[in-house]
Chain A
Amino acid sequence: MKTIFTLAFSASLVALTQSSALAADATRGKQVYNKVGCYQCHGYEGQGANTGPRLAPEPMAVEGLSAFLRNAASTTMPPYSEKVLSDADVADIHAYLSTIKKPPAGKSIPLLNNP
């Protein structure tokens, strides 16, 4: 059973890598990100909160993201199967997260330098 899962999971990763390389769509990825509720725990810009860690900017590799989504049972993260979030969706979400720019440095924001 474990072998089957591993094989299937590996195949999924290959497919995901191929699809993300071909046609990842950041605009659609943002729509999917909101539609499937990623923002609920991670914020609309993936900034993270006490309900979920930061996802962006500089997101983890798409393969890692997919592995986490599919095998989230090891955390409190609800797992997203391919049935509810396709590999193409994951690639698009990753593309969206990759478009999020790095914020200004805290030292350059006066409000964050208040005593």
Chain B
Amino acid sequence: MSNDKPSVDRRKFLTAAAVSGAAAVSAPTGVGSAQAQGVAGFTKPPSAADMEAEIGQPVRIAATMKEEGGRPGSDFMVDVLRAMDIDYVATNPASSCRGLHESINNYAMNKKPELLTAMHEEIATAMAHGYAKVSGKPMGLLFHGTVGIQHAVMAFYNAWCDRAPMLVMSGNHGDAAHRAPGIPTTHAAQDPLAIARDFTKWDDQPGSLQASAESLMRACKIAMTPPYGPVCVSLDAHLQEGVANPSDKLRIPKFTRSAPPQGDSGAVKEAAQMLAAAQNPVIVVDRAARTHAFQGMLVQLAELLGAAVVDQLGRQNFPSRHPLNVTPRARGVIATADVIIGLELNDFWGIVNSYADVAEARQDKRAKADVRLVSINSRDLNLKANYQEFQRFQDVDVAIAADSEATMPALIEAVRAAMNGDMRAAAERRIASHAAATQKQSERFLNVDATYAWDASPISTARLSAELWNVIKDLDWALVSRDVRLSNWPHRIWNFDKPYQYIGDSGGAGQGYGMGAAIGAALAHREHGRFVVNLQGDGDLMYGPGAIWSAVHHKIPLLTVMHNNRAYHQEIMHVQRVGNWRDRGVDRAHIGTTIDNPHVDFATLAKSMGMEGIGPISDPKDLGAAFRRAVQIVKAGEPVLVDVVSQPR
């Protein structure tokens, strides 16, 4: 992490220049220094002419203070960020943000917030995305207006779908009469955040410094009210580079987070009675765990009801080895359920219905016809019209538009009150039954399923996962990526039981998320000394390989294991499927889908940016040693990449 030493001379110079600057804008040669002479306690700063002579080009003394005690507007913005407890701001530098950028460097001295340098706005946004899911609070993002926001928006969509809070700040040159011609005008916009409005919770373009403080505060508050999500504030360059004068009487509002919305007590009671009376209750959970408290509460509810739990793996919701975790056999459990409660589901329809992607697509009901459904979902409080991430409409019997985690204590108490002795006995029997099935399933995973292709090359995803588990199981570890593309082998083998050990996936399935999100997550884990693992897809990394540089530059300990199947594998299967539907075969399905000829040498790619790279490893017998070496590098505080040539899934 950078620890820039303050330059005393520069700081004094800036302060003095700031005080001197009232006349500098209107009379840019020499007047400013004369103005400063009457101010006690300041040495005479260099005049614009002095500076011009020194650096050889026309100079404007930027911070023009009209009054004693005035200061740059963007310094005030830094104070607002501090009041909101923003620790980091990820950025790709840009002229429309230079005022705030400079204030973070020289006023904040790059501490709270600290700048994180990203090679692409999409990477920076992914960093904020991963960071938020581990730290539980937003990272700031500082982007150029127009082109910077355009670069970032796909990653905003991921964050929107995944309910990840982040505070996006962008620059703009809105005043046509005063902005510079050429690129600053090309990059100016009348409504710069319109492009992101469909998938951000709120945005604003404040017209004054006071309004900027209130806007930032409101934005942060909205981002952190469930459902969490990204928010954007356009901070015009004239505000950043303008003056905060004492007579402006600027005030930083108090930052108070809104209490999360809790379910209506009557509806919670009705849902509890339905669950208590169920013969086969099932809990389906997706992006529900906002804090570390949730997992324990879900365990409590499931054990109270003897309910099977299907974890959609949007967060670390439920221990992977808990006897009631029936996720791998979810379809069968759903098919026999009489009551299903969905907690923060993005796709309840897809839980109780099936869709077959065949030539003439089929839709069938998966659940029983008379199944009763309960939904607790904060997403119902904040839907937008255009993008369809809210999925098919699913009618339910009890709909509670509220935050699941906030509602959980009341639900547990209501279920406890609703259960009589017979119900409790039935719950115990269900627990025993589910536990036996889970045990059998776990034994099959380890004793049978994982053994197939054990010595194969390319390396099986089961072998990769088992080798990796062997080196991390005794560490305080966390996985910061989804493992579905490894056939969920980590979730089948590893013991996910701590509330910080898993954070789900991108949400919007937009590529280019993995490495950036892993870096942000690892940054948040770093202060806790956790060992962080990123299972990284090859195609995803190639969207933004510059993320590697950021991990090295900011010294973020992180083990990245490449799941290098040398293809956009999902897409091969799609092309293959259509080719067969049309009876034209799959001989050419590799065209436009594979990442070979040449193979990407990811270890060398990592090395090119200063990250230790190991591999490519094709022989499974070499994996153990490679992982052990990688663990030592991460323990020393550095990121490392191990390139594993792997089976497709």
Which chain A residues have a beta carbon within 8 Å of chain B's beta carbons? 35-37, 39-41, 43-51, 54, 56-57, 73, 75-76, 78-81, 83-85, 103-107, 109, 111-115
Contacts and interface: CB of A to CB of B under 8 A. Distances in A.
Contacts of A44: 453, 456, 458, 647
Given A37-B586, A47-B462, A79-B580, 6 more contacts: A36-B586, A43-B460, A76-B357, A85-B585, A109-B451, A111-B467
Contacts of A48: 449, 452
B452 A112 contact: no
A56 B147 CA distance: 52
A109 B446 CA distance: 9
A109 B450 CA distance: 10
B576 A51 contact: no
B227 to A, nearest CB: 28
B183 interface: no
Contacts, number: 122
Given A76-B357, A84-B580, A105 B453 contact: no
B586 A84 contact: yes
Contact of A111 (B456, B466, B569, B647): B466
Contacts of A46: 452
Contact of B569 (A35, A40, A83): A40
A45 B463 CA distance: 13
B648 A106 contact: no
Given A73-B358, A114-B466, A114-B469, A103 B573 contact: no
Nearest to A57: B452
Interface string B482-503: 0010011000010100000000
Contacts of A111: 463, 466-467, 469-470
Nearest to A85: B585
B581 A78 contact: yes
A111 B580 CA distance: 39
A103 B447 CA distance: 10
B447 A114 contact: no
A44 B452 CA distance: 11
A112 B449 CA distance: 11
Interface residues of B, number: 47
Given A76-B357, A107-B447, A114-B466, A47 B585 contact: no
Given A40-B576, A73-B358, A112-B446, A104 B587 contact: no
Contacts of A36: 585-587
A43 B453 contact: yes
A75 B357 CA distance: 9
Contact of A104 (B454, B458, B462, B648): B454
Contacts of A114: 466, 469-470, 473
A83 B519 CA distance: 49
Given A44-B647, A84-B585, A78 B577 contact: yes
Contact of A81 (B455, B484, B583): B583
Contacts of A43: 452-453, 456, 460, 647-649
A115 B454 CA distance: 19
A53 B288 CA distance: 31
Given A36-B585, A50-B488, A54-B452, A113 B446 contact: yes
Contacts of B455: 103
A43 B648 CA distance: 7
A109 B454 contact: yes
A50 B581 contact: no
A7 to B, nearest CB: 20
